[in-house]
Amino acid sequence: MQSQGKFFDDLARVLNGAAGTFAGMAREAQASAKEKARDFVADDFVTREEFDAVKDMLAAARAEIAGLKTRIDVMEATSAAAATVAKAPKKAK
């Protein structure tokens, strides 16, 4: 009977060791997958700082475009007014 108890103790130790080994393998696989995901994301995505810099440049460009549009509208209105005055018949004195 003693040998059966020893057999089951040894079997339990082997199974515990295997469980620990599998748990370690799972941790290594998870760490490897996380690193691969980080590498993939790092190649295809921008950092927050880069995104903010481009967003700020875009906002400045939009403001400049709005200012230029206003200037063009003023020039067109001035040009149209000048053309109207030039086409108006002159009054005889």
Sign of the Cα pseudo-torsion (60, 65, 70, 74, in order): positive
How many whole angstroms separate alpha carbon 19 and alpha carbon 53? 50
Distance (Å, whole) CA 41 – CA 89: 71
Give Cβ neighbours of residue 26 (< 8 Å, ≥ 6 apart): none
Q: pLDDT 10s digit of each residue in the chain, 93 long?
A: 567 788 889 999 999 999 999 999 999 999 999 999 888 877 777 889 999 999 999 999 999 999 999 999 999 999 998 888 878 777 665
Q: How far is CA 2 from CA 7, 15, 24, in A?
A: 9, 20, 33
Structural domain boundaries of the chain? 1-45, 46-86
Q: What is the pLDDT of residue 46?
A: 81
pTM above 0.85, yes or no: no
* Predicted local distance difference test score (pLDDT) of residue 4: 75
